[in-house]
Amino acid sequence: MDAIRPTAEYLLGAPVEFVVYELRRSADMAFAMLNAQRPGGVPIDYATTPAVIRGEMDVQQDVTGAQVFYRLTGSGWIVEEFSFGATDVWFAAEPFCTRYRALISDYC
């Protein structure tokens, strides 16, 4: 989860920890469904997050939920695709269904 942490902290403010709801791996790919929170399980007040303050996300939208596609490289896991605060199953379409079929075939 450390690969997505800088992005989460940019959007939500630091510090951030994750609750992992789903984690799938196939070869050098992984897919995670996460929820960001403050250490100790404290909910993030998304109305006061940097992303909402900057106008990048809607104050009415819970921006703490995330879906992330990772790829394993020689230096560790990197983020390939992600979304925070999605209100739909954005990855259940092309090109994601083809690229990540081993991870998300039940969504495609």
Question: For 47-63, how does the pLDDT look when each residue is reduced to its tens digit (9 = 90+)?
Answer: 899 998 999 887 777 77
Q: Which two tokens stand for residue 70?
A: 């990772």
In percent, the amount of the chain with pLDDT more than 70 equals 100
Please state whether 25 falls in left (phi above 0), alpha (psi between -120 and 50) or beta. Answer: beta
| Residue range 5-104, CATH number | 3.10.450
pTM for this prediction: 0.92
What per-residue confidence (pLDDT) applies to 64? 82
Q: Side chain identity at 35, as an amino acid letter?
A: N
What per-residue confidence (pLDDT) applies to 58? 79
Q: Which two tokens stand for residue 79?
A: 């983020």
Q: Where are the domains of the chain?
A: 5-104
